[in-house]
Structure 1
Amino acid sequence: MKTLRTFFAVMEEGSVNRAAARLGVAQPTLSRQIQALEQEVGGSLFERGTWGVRPTDLGFKLREMMLPVLRAYDQAWAEVAAHAKGRHTQLRVGYLGMAANRFLNPALARLREEYPDIKLWLFDQTPVEQLKALRAGELDVALIGQEGAAVGDDFYRRKVSRIGVCAALPSQHPAAKRESISLEELKHDVFIGVAESSVPGRNAWVASLCAKAGFKARFVAETSEVTETFMRVVGDSAACIVPDYVEGSSPPGITFVKLNDDFATWDFYVLRQRGRGTPAIRRLVELIGEP
């Protein structure tokens, strides 16, 4: 990159002497750098005369191809330097869509007040997608459900909240008009599960809740998307156990009824990569879930 900067300085100044003075190097040193670059590219980059130097066709081509590279290089170094000094200019956050209003949006609003210049990238992703992106270095923060409890020491983890659980029922279900029910009242119902590839451990969690209520859960289908889940609840006259943050979504034909069992709870976690916690990242993790 140093030799390229020398080339651009000579091209802009139209003079080796003026370029040397601008860069603070001796004229012979700069001339040798240009000669080495010409040998590397395989041709003359400048026409030389009493009037100074002018780029050759090859010189213009080198400028055309390498100027974007040099700018990208400088931008990348600036970003790395800002990151090292805690002035990271972007923050990539993965989240569960239905949880954003309760947990993420208030935190982002407060973060913006403290870091007004930060660039936010937000990704509505399943827990599996978030975990993969964290491991690949493509996310800084992930906001997921109790699936976060199973990651061990892979990431820094903080429990945001322990929230209630509700049953998503067809609106014509006998319990749909109730304010709350016990899970045992659904022992004769069938359940819609969630594909392990989208939300790992969700079906096992539902099965464990049903076991605590004294019966074995019977799953008639597995889905990979929330919309499909609610369609199957209606279409199969089934039930689905979900965290209570989904209550505000009110999909057609679905009624959410709270479960009043003490054991029916859902833990919510925020994760971040270890060793990559800039002040803005750490602050967002602190803010998520705060009143």
Structure 2
Amino acid sequence: MDSQLIEYFLRVTELGSINRAAADLGLSQPALSRHIALLEHQISARLFTRTKGGVVPTEAGQLLYDRARPILRQFATLIEQVGERAEGSLSVGFPPSWQHLFTTRFVPALLARHPRVSLRVHEGVSHELREAMHQGMLDLAIVPFEGVPPSGYRHTPLVREPLVLVSPRDHGLTPEQPVPLSGLDNLRLALPGRPNAIRTYVEHALSRKGHVFKSVFEIDAMNLSMALARQGTCHTVTPCCAVSAHPDWENTISWSPISGMFITWALCENTARSHSPAVQEGLRLIAETVEAIVASGTWLGAELFGSRRNKVRSASAEPPGDWESP
């Protein structure tokens, strides 16, 4: 099947009109109609229903529309892998909580060292990054550690950090004084929706201790939940890196680590892309940048995992704690 036919189909669906899509694509209306008819013949399904205002996708058409873009992305990645361009492309995924402390350092460092690398950065909460990995869209990703990694990915624990409760400033929380899990009992929380790892971890932890999990609303946008906590609308739970040394939140919120609650981050590598020099350079720079941040002390409560941890033990007087993951 010609992938161009899928591209034509997507444009018609997005514009809701064969005439408008033909003009947008630089084709005649009869030519585009023939392309759509050929696609329908190849997949043995009717894709559009005509209306007075244009066309709308059938049930089969909607299914194709929902799933076509990831397929096209995987196809484009495959073409890159068998060609010379694959050596210079890198697609990475990071959680929003890593933006200030890590991502804004990693991206300029990579571009400075390797200006010929074509870099694509995807930022998303844990379940969004996992879905992108399942679709083969990412070469590298940072996600919460889990026992069974996504198929086709090598899963290496990287760093552990505390989860913290973020509240309005007048609540008086401080980084030096952890709050017990019971402090979240019946608290008005704004967290991402399921199956987000932190949401699931917090909900299960409260349930096990007999406490009430009270979600005010679900927000898959960390900065928004932080801003609402600052306004006094709600409280939220986030990895410590989201607030450590972050000027936007200094003196505008209050926060404390939650006793006994940690998240372990893993570095996931797409094994189908391990041969790429760009991927190897990305791996090295991610590990190097994480080690440097932890050693600097700006990432409060963070501990490197395994052999990486030993390299920076001299930078911290605190002994490492027990390792846990959500």
Sort the TM-score into its range (normalised by shorter chain). Answer: 0.5 to 0.7
- Normalising by structure 1, we get a TM-score of 0.59
User: Residue 204 in 1 paired to residue 200 in 2?
Assistant: yes
Q: 1:164, 1:258 within 8 Å by CA — same for their partners in 2?
A: no
CA–CA distance in structure 1, aligned partners of residues 227 and 104 of structure 2: 27
Query: 1:11-160, aligned counterparts within 5 Å?
Result: 80-82=82-84, 88-108=87-107, 111-112=110-111, 115-144=114-143, 146=144, 148-149=145-146, 152-154=149-151, 155-160=153-158
Residues 1:104 and 1:270: Cα distance change in structure 2 (over 3 Å): farther
Residues 1:97 and 1:193: Cα distance change in structure 2 (over 3 Å): closer
Residues 1:102 and 1:152: Cα distance change in structure 2 (over 3 Å): same
CA–CA distance in structure 2, aligned partners of residues 256 and 149 of structure 1: 30
Q: Which structure has the bigger radius of gyration? A: 1
Could you tell me which amino acid in structure 1 is paired with residue 160 of structure 2?
R
CA–CA distance in structure 2, aligned partners of residues 171 and 230 of structure 1: 12
CA–CA distance in structure 2, aligned partners of residues 96 and 239 of structure 1: 20
Q: 2:97, 2:239 within 8 Å by CA — same for their partners in 1?
A: no
CA–CA distance in structure 1, aligned partners of residues 174 and 80 of structure 2: 59
Identity, % of aligned pairs? 15
Residues 1:273 and 1:77: Cα distance change in structure 2 (over 3 Å): closer
Residues 1:226 and 1:104: Cα distance change in structure 2 (over 3 Å): closer
Number of residues of Structure 1 aligned to a counterpart in Structure 2 = 207
SS of equivalent residue, structure 1 residue 169? strand
Q: 1:108, 1:284 within 8 Å by CA — same for their partners in 2?
A: no
Residues 1:256 and 1:209: Cα distance change in structure 2 (over 3 Å): farther
Runs of 5+ unmatched residues, structure 2: 1-77, 293-326
Query: 1:105-254, aligned counterparts within 5 Å?
Result: 105-108=104-107, 111-112=110-111, 115-144=114-143, 146=144, 148-149=145-146, 152-154=149-151, 155-173=153-171, 175-176=172-173, 179-183=176-180, 184-187=182-185, 189-196=187-194, 200-211=196-207, 215-233=211-229, 237-247=233-243, 248=246, 250-251=248-249
Q: 2:88, 2:117 within 8 Å by CA — same for their partners in 1?
A: yes
Runs of 5+ unmatched residues, structure 1: 1-75
- Normalising by structure 2, we get a TM-score of 0.53
Residues 1:286 and 1:257: Cα distance change in structure 2 (over 3 Å): same
2:19 is matched with: none
Q: 2:161, 2:263 within 8 Å by CA — same for their partners in 1?
A: yes
Residues 1:108 and 1:116: Cα distance change in structure 2 (over 3 Å): same
Give the C-alpha shift of residue 121 in structure 1. 1.7
Could you tell me which amino acid in structure 1 is paired with residue 277 of structure 2?
P
Could you tell me which amino acid in structure 2 is paired with residue 185 of structure 1?
G
Residues 1:177 and 1:290: Cα distance change in structure 2 (over 3 Å): closer
